[in-house]
Amino acid sequence: MVVVMEMSSSNQQIEAVNLKLDQLGFQTQMIRGVKRIVIGAVGDRRSSDILELQLMPGVEKIVPIMKPYKLVSREGRDENTVIKVGNVTIGGDNLAIIAGPCAVESRQQLLTAAYQVKRAGGQIIRGGAFKPRTSPYSFQGLELEGLKILKEAAQATGLPVVTEVIDEGSLQMALDYVDMVQVGARNMQNFRLLKAVGQTDIPVLLKRGMSATIEEWLMAAEYIISEGNGRVILCERGIRTFETATRNTLDLSAVPLVKRLSHLPVIVDPSHGTGDRGLVQPMSMAAIAAGADGLILEMHPEPAKALSDGPQSLTPEELEQVMGQLSLLLPAVARQLPTNAIRESA
Amino acid sequence: MVVVMEMSSSNQQIEAVNLKLDQLGFQTQMIRGVKRIVIGAVGDRRSSDILELQLMPGVEKIVPIMKPYKLVSREGRDENTVIKVGNVTIGGDNLAIIAGPCAVESRQQLLTAAYQVKRAGGQIIRGGAFKPRTSPYSFQGLELEGLKILKEAAQATGLPVVTEVIDEGSLQMALDYVDMVQVGARNMQNFRLLKAVGQTDIPVLLKRGMSATIEEWLMAAEYIISEGNGRVILCERGIRTFETATRNTLDLSAVPLVKRLSHLPVIVDPSHGTGDRGLVQPMSMAAIAAGADGLILEMHPEPAKALSDGPQSLTPEELEQVMGQLSLLLPAVARQLPTNAIRESA
Amino acid sequence: MVVVMEMSSSNQQIEAVNLKLDQLGFQTQMIRGVKRIVIGAVGDRRSSDILELQLMPGVEKIVPIMKPYKLVSREGRDENTVIKVGNVTIGGDNLAIIAGPCAVESRQQLLTAAYQVKRAGGQIIRGGAFKPRTSPYSFQGLELEGLKILKEAAQATGLPVVTEVIDEGSLQMALDYVDMVQVGARNMQNFRLLKAVGQTDIPVLLKRGMSATIEEWLMAAEYIISEGNGRVILCERGIRTFETATRNTLDLSAVPLVKRLSHLPVIVDPSHGTGDRGLVQPMSMAAIAAGADGLILEMHPEPAKALSDGPQSLTPEELEQVMGQLSLLLPAVARQLPTNAIRESA
Amino acid sequence: MVVVMEMSSSNQQIEAVNLKLDQLGFQTQMIRGVKRIVIGAVGDRRSSDILELQLMPGVEKIVPIMKPYKLVSREGRDENTVIKVGNVTIGGDNLAIIAGPCAVESRQQLLTAAYQVKRAGGQIIRGGAFKPRTSPYSFQGLELEGLKILKEAAQATGLPVVTEVIDEGSLQMALDYVDMVQVGARNMQNFRLLKAVGQTDIPVLLKRGMSATIEEWLMAAEYIISEGNGRVILCERGIRTFETATRNTLDLSAVPLVKRLSHLPVIVDPSHGTGDRGLVQPMSMAAIAAGADGLILEMHPEPAKALSDGPQSLTPEELEQVMGQLSLLLPAVARQLPTNAIRESA
C-alpha cells in the first residue's frame, strides 16, 4: 500500500509512520515529491493496520494496491471454474438455463412448470419455498411443503432444482431436497448465512446485492469459499439506480468484468434485472452475447395468476421463443446448449 | 387504485377488467378520456390483486393510491410515539444521544468508553458484540463475552446499552444483556430477523438500508410492528450514491419527511453516514436542526487503535465538544438535553 | 390526470378543486373511496395546471396518466423511423457502425483512422473538434481546423462524418463540414442547443445524459423535433451509478425499452459506457443482441498516444475483431452489415 | 503518482515504463513488493501523460496522488474567500439569504416579491429570466424584459439581484442588469459557459450538477477561476439518487467537506434540493447548522399561481418564519444576520 502524507506533515510525523510500518512488518520506501512525501509499504496488509495508520498525525490517506479478495481472484487461478449441479455444468462450454416460477405455489403449479421448462430446453428448475417479501402482508412461501414439491419435480423430470435460502434454518431444511441453494440479493451481506452455506458443499448461486459493488460481491463469494465451499456461481440481477423506468438497472458490463477479475462462473437474471416481461428476451440475448455462462428466468404456467412477480414472468411459450432465439446466438459466442434444448425449442 | 387502459384496448378488454375488479370486491368507476379509458377502483387492495390486473390484456399500468403501510403511518396516529429505553425517552422533548465504540474490543476498552460517554452527557451506550464485516478476514466481534461486558457497563454507569443483532441466535442471546437491539443497515430487509424482533418487546433501533427507499424502510418497521412490537426507532445512516468523497450520503431530508409520514421517532448516525471524523460534528448539528430525535455517535477511547471504523470515531474530547455545541442549538429546536449533559460538557 | 385528495379534506376543498378543474377545461369524475376522494380529470394537461392544483388546500397529490412527450412517442407513429446520414441508413435492417478517435488531433491521425475505419467495415467516421473536458488544463480540440480535417476524411473515404457540437457557434461552424452532429451527454439538457439543432435539418445524435431518466432523454428529443428537425438518433452511453469499477454503467435495457416507447432509432456507445477497452467487444455484442440499431466506437491508430480517452479506444486490429464478431451475430438479430464490412473484416 | 505494474509484467516492460517516466520529466523510485512492482513518480503530471502510461504493456493502473484542482484548493490558500455582491458579503460572518421566485413572471409579481423578501430580512433577490425547462411546452422565461424588471426591483429595494444565465448570449445581456449570475445545475459542465463567465468579473453562483461529484464541481469552479474571475460561490442543490420521495437528495455533508477542500464560500438551496415546501424550513436550519454561508430560497407571493416550481416555493409568511427560526440558530454557529433581518422577522 501507499501512504500519502499531508503537505504540512513534519519530519517527526513521517518518522513515526515509518516506524509503525516497520513494526507492522512492512518494508518501506520513501518517495519525496516536490510538495509531498509518499511512503510505499510492501507486505501483507490487514485492514486493522490500515485503520491505525489512517489516524496517525500527518497522514492524508492510504491507497491500497492489492485487491482485498484472494480465493475468488483470477490472479490465483487461471482456468475457469466449472461447477456441476446434478448433471448440468455451469462455467464451461455449456450455457446453463435455469427457469421456473418465482414461488412454489402448489404441487400442480410447480410440476406443470417443471415439465414446461424441460420441454423448452431448460436444464435446471427454479422455485422459491422461502420468499423474502417487502410487505409483511404478502405471500411468504410454502417452506417445507415447497421443498418437497421441488424434490418431486426433480425426480419426475430428471432436472436438478434450485431454491433460495434465507437463514440457517431454511438452509438446513433445503439441503435434503435441492441440488443448489440461492443466496438472494437482500442477503448478499448476511455474513452468517454466507458462512453457513460455506460450511456445506452444495453449489451456491450468489446473487449480487441491489447496491453492492463488484468488489463487495466478490468479497461475499470469498466469505463462502474461505469456509471451504468453492462451488459458487455468481448471478448479476440488476442494481438500484436513479432510473425508475425499469425495476432495476441490469449491469451487463459486470459479466465480462467479473470474468476478468475472477475464475468463478457468472449467470444473469434478466427477469428481476428488468422487472418487465417484455424486456426479458432482448436482455437474455444481451447477457449471453456479453459472455454470461447462463441465465435464470422466471416462467409461470399462468403469469396472471402468479402469487409473486407475475409481471416479469414469461409464459411457457415465451420461454420457448427465448430458447429458440438463444440457439441462433450460439455460433457467435462459441457456446452450446444441450441437443434436446435446441431440438425441442426449434 | 387506478387502472390505466392502453389506447388501443378493446371494449371486451375493458369489460373484462371491470368484471375482474367486481369479483375482487372493488367498486369501479370509468373515466373516459379523449384517447384513453381510466378505471377508478375503490376497495382494500392486496398486492396479488395488482399483479393479476397488471397482466390482463389491454391494461397499460396500475397506479396505487394508498400507501402500503398502515401501522407506522401518521394517518392512523396523530401524536408522536415516545419510546422508553431504560430511563431514557426517545421521541419527546429530550434529545437522545447514544455513543460508544463501534465494537466491544475488551472489558477495559468498553468500560473506559462508557464512563467517557456518561461524562460527556451521553444517555445510552453503544457497542457491537456481533459485527457484520465485508471481509471474512476482519474482526467479527466478541459475541457472548461482549454482551456480558455491555451489561457490566450498564450497571456501572447506570446508562442503558444497545447492541446490534444479526440473526435469531444473537437476538436470543442479547435479550438478557441489553436494553435495546439494533437491526443494521445490511439486515433492514432480513425479514426473518424483523419478525423475530417483532415477537419480543425490546426497543428496536432500525437502521435504514444502504439503498432502501423511505417507503421500504417504513415497510421494514411495519414488519416489526405487525408482529406485536411497537417500540421501533428509525435511524438514518446514509445511503449509497455515486458520490465517493464520503462513505455514504447522509440523507437528512429523510428526517422531516419520515416525521411527516410516520409517528415513529427518528435519530441520525453521522458517523457511518459520513465515515469521516471531521464531518461528524457539523452533521450532528445539522441532524438535530433538521428535527432528529437524537444521534448515535461512534466514540472510541483511542480511535487509532480501534479494531473497526476508527477513521469515523470521535475521541472522548471531541464527543464533549459535540455535546457542547449541541447545547447551543437547543433553543432553536425547542428540545432539551438532560441537565447533567449540559453541565458536564459546558 | 388523477387528483388524490387528503383523507381529511373538506367538502368545500373538494368542491374548489372540482371548480378549478372545470375552469381549466377538464371533465371530471369523482371516485369516493372508503377513506379518500379521488378525482379523475380528462383533458389536455399543461404542466402549469398541475402546479396550481398541487398547491390547493386538501390536495395530497396529482398523478399524471399521459406521457409528457408526443412527437417522439410510439403511440403517435407505429413504424420505426429510419434516418439517412449520407448514404448510410440508421434504424432499418442495417446495423450502423460509427467509429473513429475521440478527438481530431491532426490531419494525419484522422485520415489514418478514417481509412482504418473503412477497412474494418465501419460506415460513419467520428472525431471530436470541440471537446468538453472536465479539466480546464486538458486538450480542448482543434475546432475549425478539426472540422476541415473531418470533411477531407469524408471526401477521401466516401464515408459520412459526425462531430460533437457544444453551443450555437460550434453548431453553425459544423453545418458546413459534417453529415451529422452529436449533442453530448453533458449537453442533453442544454435547451438552447437543443432548440438550435432543432432549427436545422442535419441528423442529430442525441446522447443520454449521465443522470438522465429515459423520460428526460425522450423529452430532450422532443425539444429538437418540436422545432422541426425530426432526424434524431438516440444514443445510450452509460449512466452514473454507485459502481466505480466501470466509468459508467451501460444501461442496455434502455435499448428495448426506448424502442417500445418511441419510434426513433437507438444506438449504443460501449466505449464511453464502460471506459475500458477490454469491455468494448463484449458490450458491443450485447448491445446489438439487445436490439440496438448500431454502435459508436472509439478507435485510435495508436491509443497510447491519444490526447483523450485513450484507455477506452480500440486499436484498428481490435475494431476489425469486433466487426468480425458482430457478423456472427447478424442471423440472431435479423440485421445486416454492408457486404464490404463483412468481407473486409472476415 | 504511483504506477502499479501487473503481477506478470516483465523486466522489459518495467524498464520501458521507467524510461517513459524519465522522458516525461518524472523522478522515479521502484518499490518491489512480494508479488508486484510499484513505481513512485514525482513531478507535475498532466492528464495526457497518465493516458499514455495507462496503456503501456504491463501497467495495471495509475493512482494519482495530487488533487486535479489548484486555484480553488484550500492547500493554496488558508483563509476563507469572502465575496461581495452589491453591499452583501458571502463567506464571512454574515449569513447570506437569497430569496425570490423561481421565474420572473411579471413586473408586479417580481416587485411584490422583492419587497416581501426585504421585509423578511432577505439580502439578495433571485428571479429567473431565462428558464431551462425539461419540457419544450413549459414557460421559458421573459428574457430581456425579465432582466429589466430585476434591475428595477434592485433599485426599488436597494437589494442586489441574481439571475441564471444559460449561454453566452444571455450572459452578455445579464451583465448590464444584475449583480450576480447563476450557472445552473444542468450547465455545471457547460464548459463554454464556464469560460465565458470566467472572462467577466461578476460574482458567479455555481450550482452543483445533479450527478456531479464534489471533485467535478470544484473542477468547474477551477474553470471559471482559471479564466481570471475568482468570485465564485458554490451552491449545493441536491444530487440525483435512487430515492424518489424527494425531488433530489440534498447532500449537506458536501458543505463541511467543500469547506475543508476549498477556500470558496458555499451556500445551499433547500427549495430545489427537496422540491417540497414542507421540507424547506427544516433543511434551511440543517444547512446553516452544517456550516453553510447562506441559503437560496424560493418564495412566491402566491405559490399556487407560480408558472414554475410552485410546490417548492415558500409563501412570504413562511419565509418570515424561516428567518425567525434561523435567528435562533445564530449563536450555535457564530454567525450573524443583518440587524434589520432579525428585527423585521422577529
pLDDT score of A112 more than 50: yes
| Domain identity same for C56 and C106 | no
User: Rounded CA gap, B267 and B252, in Å?
Assistant: 10
pLDDT at B51: 65
Is some CB atom of chain C closer than 8 A to the CB atom of D210?
yes
Handedness of CA B315, B317, B323, B325 (dihedral sign): negative
The reply to whether residue A190 touches residue B190, judged by beta carbons under 8 angstroms, is: yes
DSSP 3-state percent helix, strand, coil across chain D (nearest 5): 40, 20, 40
pLDDT score of B130 more than 80: yes
Q: Is residue C168 part of a domain?
A: yes
pLDDT score of A341 more than 70: no
| Domain identity same for A329 and A301 | yes
Is some CB atom of chain A closer than 8 A to the CB atom of D43?
yes
| Domain identity same for B252 and B119 | yes
Over residues D117-145, the pLDDT tens digits come to: 999 999 999 999 998 877 777 778 899 99
pLDDT score of C128 more than 90: yes
Is some CB atom of chain B closer than 8 A to the CB atom of A282?
no
User: Rounded CA gap, D148 and D151, in Å?
Assistant: 5
D40: nearest CB among A38, A241, A242: A38
pLDDT score of B345 more than 50: no
Over residues A250-294, the pLDDT tens digits come to: 999 999 999 999 999 999 999 999 999 999 999 999 999 999 999
| Domain identity same for C157 and C251 | yes
| Domain identity same for D130 and D22 | no
pLDDT at C340: 55
User: Rounded CA gap, C278 and C183, in Å?
Assistant: 26
pLDDT at D344: 46
| Domain identity same for A37 and A123 | no
Is some CB atom of chain C closer than 8 A to the CB atom of A278?
yes
Over residues B181-233, the pLDDT tens digits come to: 999 999 999 999 999 999 999 999 999 999 999 999 999 999 999 999 999 99
pLDDT at B120: 96
- Domain-ending residue, one of D63, D92, D111: D63
Q: Is residue D71 part of a domain?
A: no
pLDDT at D343: 44
The reply to whether residue A189 touches residue B311, judged by beta carbons under 8 angstroms, is: no
3-class DSSP state of C83: strand
Q: Is residue C69 part of a domain?
A: no
pLDDT score of B29 more than 90: no
pLDDT score of C345 more than 50: no
The reply to whether residue B285 touches residue D290, judged by beta carbons under 8 angstroms, is: yes
Question: How much is the average pLDDT of D66-73?
Answer: 86
Burial D264-294 (b: 16+ CB within 10 A, else e): bbbbbbbbbbbbbbebbbbbbbbbbbbbbbb
Chains C, D: CB contacts within 8 A come to 115
pLDDT score of D10 more than 60: yes
Q: Is residue A242 part of a domain?
A: yes
The reply to whether residue B192 touches residue A240, judged by beta carbons under 8 angstroms, is: no
Min Cα distance D89 → chain A (Å) is 31
| Domain identity same for D13 and D109 | no
pLDDT score of C44 more than 70: no
The chains in contact with chain A, meaning 3 or more Cβ pairs closer than 8 Å, are B, C, D
pLDDT score of A48 more than 70: no
pTM: 0.92
pLDDT at D58: 83
What is the ipTM score, two decimals? 0.91
Please tell me which residue of chain A has the smallest CA distance to D74. A7
Of D159, D244, D258, D282, which Cα lies nearest the Cα of D206? D258
pLDDT score of B30 more than 70: yes
pLDDT at A254: 98
pLDDT at A105: 93
The reply to whether residue C135 touches residue D219, judged by beta carbons under 8 angstroms, is: yes
Strand stretches in D191-259, DSSP E = 204-207, 232-236
pLDDT band at C294 (very low <50, low <70, confident <90, very high): very high
Residue with cell 426506448: C258
B27: part of which helix (H) or strand (E)?
A: strand B27-32
D211: nearest CB among C47, C240, C303: C240
| Domain identity same for D104 and D33 | no
For chain B, give the mean pLDDT: 90
What CATH number does residue C22 fall under?
Answer: 3.30.70.1140
Residues of chain B neighbouring C38 (CB-CB closer than 8 A): 2, 40, 65
Is some CB atom of chain D closer than 8 A to the CB atom of C306?
yes
Could you say which residues from 54 to 113 on chain A have a Cβ atom under 8 Å away from some Cβ of chain C? Answer: none
Residues of chain D neighbouring B242 (CB-CB closer than 8 A): 211, 213, 239
pLDDT band at C24 (very low <50, low <70, confident <90, very high): confident
pLDDT at D82: 97
Q: Is residue C71 part of a domain?
A: no
Question: Which residue type sits at B59?
Answer: V
Q: Is residue D75 part of a domain?
A: no
pLDDT score of A343 more than 50: no
Over residues D76-90, the pLDDT tens digits come to: 788 999 999 999 999
pLDDT score of B330 more than 60: yes
| C40: containing domain | 2-63
pLDDT at B45: 61
Residues of chain C neighbouring A278 (CB-CB closer than 8 A): 256, 260
pLDDT band at C204 (very low <50, low <70, confident <90, very high): very high
Q: Is residue B317 part of a domain?
A: yes
| Domain identity same for B142 and B288 | yes
Residues of chain D neighbouring A44 (CB-CB closer than 8 A): 34
| Domain identity same for A8 and A107 | no
pLDDT band at C250 (very low <50, low <70, confident <90, very high): very high
C65: nearest CB among B4, B32, B75: B4
pLDDT score of A133 more than 90: no
What CATH number does residue B98 fall under?
Answer: 3.20.20.70
Min Cα distance B79 → chain A (Å) is 24
pLDDT score of A318 more than 70: yes
Can you spell out the DSSP letters for C248-283? Answer: SB--TTHHHHHHHHBSS-EEE-HHHHH--HHHHHHH
pLDDT band at D340 (very low <50, low <70, confident <90, very high): low
| Domain identity same for A103 and A252 | yes
Q: Best interface-test mutation with D: which of C189, C208, C241, C308 has the largest number of D CBs within 10 A?
A: C189
Is some CB atom of chain D closer than 8 A to the CB atom of C136?
yes
pLDDT score of B89 more than 70: yes
For chain D, give the mean pLDDT: 90
User: Rounded CA gap, B43 and B45, in Å?
Assistant: 6
pLDDT at C305: 76
Of C322, C318, C205, C328, which Cα lies nearest the Cα of C268? C205
Residue A246 vs residues B287, C73, C238: alpha-carbon distances, Å: 33, 18, 15
Residue C58 has φ and ψ, to the nearest 5°, of: 95, -10
Is some CB atom of chain C closer than 8 A to the CB atom of D23?
no
pLDDT band at C4 (very low <50, low <70, confident <90, very high): confident
pLDDT band at B312 (very low <50, low <70, confident <90, very high): confident
Q: Best interface-test mutation with C: which of A219, A241, A253 has the largest number of C CBs within 10 A?
A: A253
Question: How much is the average pLDDT of A135-158?
Answer: 91
Q: Is residue B77 part of a domain?
A: no
Of D172, D209, D174, which Cα lies nearest the Cα of D188? D209
| Domain identity same for B228 and B335 | yes
Of B6 and C330, more confident:
C330
- Structural domains of chain D, count: 2
Q: Best interface-test mutation with B: which of A6, A44, A45, A51 has the largest number of B CBs within 10 A?
A: A51
Q: Best interface-test mutation with A: which of D242, D247, D249 has the largest number of A CBs within 10 A?
A: D242
Min Cα distance B29 → chain C (Å) is 7
pLDDT score of B93 more than 70: yes
pLDDT score of C214 more than 60: yes
Find out whether A59 and A37 touch, Cβ atoms under 8 Å: no
Is some CB atom of chain A closer than 8 A to the CB atom of B293?
no
Handedness of CA D16, D20, D21, D22 (dihedral sign): positive
pLDDT band at A340 (very low <50, low <70, confident <90, very high): low
pLDDT at A263: 97
